[in-house]
């Protein structure tokens, strides 16, 4: 009842839940039920067989038949053989059950697609500087600082920024941010499904990651609505996990594929620039403006046996390292307000040193999984010499070039790529695809490692059996690695690189 005794009606919010006992049953839901039945057919068939065997053994024990068999065996000198036989059968049964319950299902990468924005969104370094001046949001010191960062960034003149940021004055809004997200997500998903010759209804699991733009409904719901995906799809939306969230999303999909047999997972990685552009004058918060650009990638993973024959890669390892227990490392990439209340992402001066510590921790875990025994023995011997015998010798850095043929390094900036090159003692040729990607697309956040892989496929090709290391850094602070093995020769010409000659830095 409202004021004055008037009654207000809420026709939408207070509608009753429909009575599901009334009306017919939609055929597609019946089909899904049979799909589940067929998927677990072997289990459903074995359960009654196992139950029957157990009941029969219990009945034989109750009626004394098992005891009679044992007496007969002892009288005919078969007692020992019978014990051995039954013990072996029990042992084999336990081993078979243990294997079935603990084995890891292989995870295959069917295909992936990297988003290529329209030419109208291209942003040269000169135009970036001019737009910053015309926006009248930055003082002279900030403009000079951004210009210096751009000169050293490693970005070329054909990166992309969203339309809302390019307007004078900038038109930043929730609607504009949604428009950017829809543009990137829908195109990426549509293309990867078409290339894999799959329909949206054939996707069982959906994982979307975007760190700084998280509307309601979520981005995963946005994709489900646009492509009219199934109502029983298992969907997740990862937020706030930074530039390494692409590997985290792959890891989550991998874990889900261990639980859901005969399934396919769609993983979508992106970052939204529109709502996270910084219009202040704090230097530590201006750097992301100079590095981050529009981009996104979608990939299809599967544990189906029939997808083995057309898969491009098999996922071998995912190693995640989180340094967030330390306050300094936790706050080195931090979204906050500046002194005037403008929101941006602060990057601390210690960021590169912290990234180095995270990288060290990550490769310490990864090394034993991928390095040849010879490298592990040398590393262990060096460690014993320094720690046990207190010998004053340099620490040995394993040669990861013996473990991997290709390296996909997160394009966080020229300094990030060169620091990894230095720390891991990589050859210039190993890091060139990452530098090329930074030059052409800038820092596309969590999707950058897929742009690097597409660059390698398009410009060099990947042979069957080659191993690929994807490594990324993110807020928190995190360093995450994914290791893939090529299941066939991959030399696809990706649309992200179809009109791009090998970049030459100025």
* Cβ burial, residue 17 (10 Å; 0-12/13-18/19+): exposed
Cβ contact 111:298 at 8 Å: no
Cβ contact 283:146 at 8 Å: no
Q: What is the CA radius of gyration of the chain?
A: 29
Active site (annotated) includes residue 322: yes
- Spell out the residues 6+ positions from residue 336 whose beta carbon is closer than 8 angstroms to its own: 343, 344, 346
Which of 214, 226, 317, 322 is catalytic? The answer is 322
Active site (annotated) includes residue 406: yes
Angle ∠(337,340,346) on CA atoms, nearest 5: 35
Distance CA 204, CA 262 (A): 9
Active site (annotated) includes residue 40: no
Crossing angle of helices 351-370 and 414-423, in 10° steps, is 50
Distance CA 144, CA 328 (A): 29
Active site (annotated) includes residue 443: yes
* Cβ burial, residue 257 (10 Å; 0-12/13-18/19+): buried
- Spell out the residues 6+ positions from residue 115 whose beta carbon is closer than 8 angstroms to its own: 184, 187, 188, 270, 294, 295, 296, 297, 447, 496
Which of 410, 479, 490, 494 is catalytic? The answer is 410
Q: Which helix (H) or strand (E) holds 471?
A: strand 467-474
Distance CA 417, CA 435 (A): 7
Cβ contact 278:186 at 8 Å: no
Which of 406, 408, 479, 490 is catalytic? The answer is 406
> Structure tokens of 26?
């939609």
Which of 362, 443, 480, 490 is catalytic? The answer is 443
DSSP 250-314: HHHHHHHHHHSSS-EEEEEEE---GGG---S--HHHHHHHHHB---EEEEEEE--GGGGGT-SEE
Q: Three-state secondary structure along 59-108?
A: HHHHHCHHHHHHHHHHHCCCHHHHHHHHHHHHHHHHHHHHHHHHCCCCCE
Distance CA 429, CA 156 (A): 19
Which of 111, 210, 237, 243 is catalytic? The answer is 243
Number of DSSP helices (H) and strands (E) in the chain, helices first: 17, 13
Q: Which helix (H) or strand (E) holds 419?
A: helix 414-423
> Structure tokens of 486?
């090529």
Cβ contact 295:114 at 8 Å: yes
Active site (annotated) includes residue 410: yes
Indicate which residues carry an active-site annotation.
Answer: 243, 322, 406, 410, 443
């Amino acid at each position: 009842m409202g004021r004055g005794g008037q009654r207000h009606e809420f026709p939408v919010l207070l509608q009753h839940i429909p009575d599901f006992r009334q009306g017919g049953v939609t055929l597609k839901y019946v089909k899904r039920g049979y799909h589940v039945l067929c998927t677990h057919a072997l289990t459903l068939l074995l359960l009654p067989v196992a139950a029957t065997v157990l009941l029969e053994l219990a009945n034989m024990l109750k009626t004394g038949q098992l005891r009679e068999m044992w007496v007969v065996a002892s009288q005919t000198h078969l007692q020992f053989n019978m014990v051995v036989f039954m013990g072996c059968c029990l042992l084999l049964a336990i081993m078979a059950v243990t294997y079935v319950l603990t084995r890891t299902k292989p995870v295959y990468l069917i295909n992936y697609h990297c988003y290529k924005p329209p030419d109208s969104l291209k942003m040269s370094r000169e135009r970036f500087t001019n737009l910053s001046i015309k926006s009248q949001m930055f003082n002279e010191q900030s403009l000079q600082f951004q210009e210096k960062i751009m000169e050293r960034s490693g970005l070329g003149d054909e990166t992309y920024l969203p339309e809302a940021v390019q307007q004078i004055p900038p038109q930043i809004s929730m609607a504009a941010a949604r428009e950017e997200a829809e543009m990137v997500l829908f195109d990426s998903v549509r293309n990867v499904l078409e290339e894999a010759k799959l329909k949206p209804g054939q996707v069982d699991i959906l994982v979307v990651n975007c760190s700084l733009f998280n509307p309601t409904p979520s981005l995963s719901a946005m994709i489900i609505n646009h492509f009219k995906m199934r109502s029983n799809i298992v969907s997740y939306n990862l937020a706030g996990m930074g530039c390494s969230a692409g590997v985290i999303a792959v890891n989550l999909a991998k874990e889900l594929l261990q639980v859901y047999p005969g399934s396919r997972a769609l993983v979508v990685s992106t970052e939204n620039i529109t709502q996270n552009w910084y219009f202040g004058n704090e230097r530590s918060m201006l750097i992301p403006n100079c590095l981050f650009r529009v981009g996104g990638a979608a990939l299809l993973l599967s544990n189906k046996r029939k997808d083995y024959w057309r898969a491009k890669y098999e996922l071998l390892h995912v190693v995640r390292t989180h340094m967030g227990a330390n306050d300094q490392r936790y706050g080195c990439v931090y979204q906050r307000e500046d002194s005037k209340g403008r929101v941006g992402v602060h990057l601390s001066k210690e960021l590169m040193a912290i990234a180095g510590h995270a990288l060290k921790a990550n490769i310490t875990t990864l090394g034993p999984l991928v390095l040849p025994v010879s490298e592990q023995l040398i590393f262990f011997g060096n460690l014993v010499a320094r720690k046990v015998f207190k010998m004053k010798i340099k620490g040995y850095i394993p040669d990861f070039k013996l473990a991997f043929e290709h390296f996909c390094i997160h394009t966080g900036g020229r300094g990030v790529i060169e620091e990894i090159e230095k720390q891991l003692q990589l050859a210039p040729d190993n890091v060139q695809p990452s530098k090329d990607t930074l030059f052409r697309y800038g820092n596309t956040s969590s999707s950058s490692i897929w742009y690097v892989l597409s660059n390698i496929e398009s410009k060099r090709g990947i042979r069957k059996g080659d191993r690929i290391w994807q490594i990324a850094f993110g807020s928190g602070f995190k360093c995450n690695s994914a290791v893939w093995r090529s299941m066939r020769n991959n030399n696809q010409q990706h649309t992200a690189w179809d009109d791009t000659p090998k970049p030459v830095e100025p």
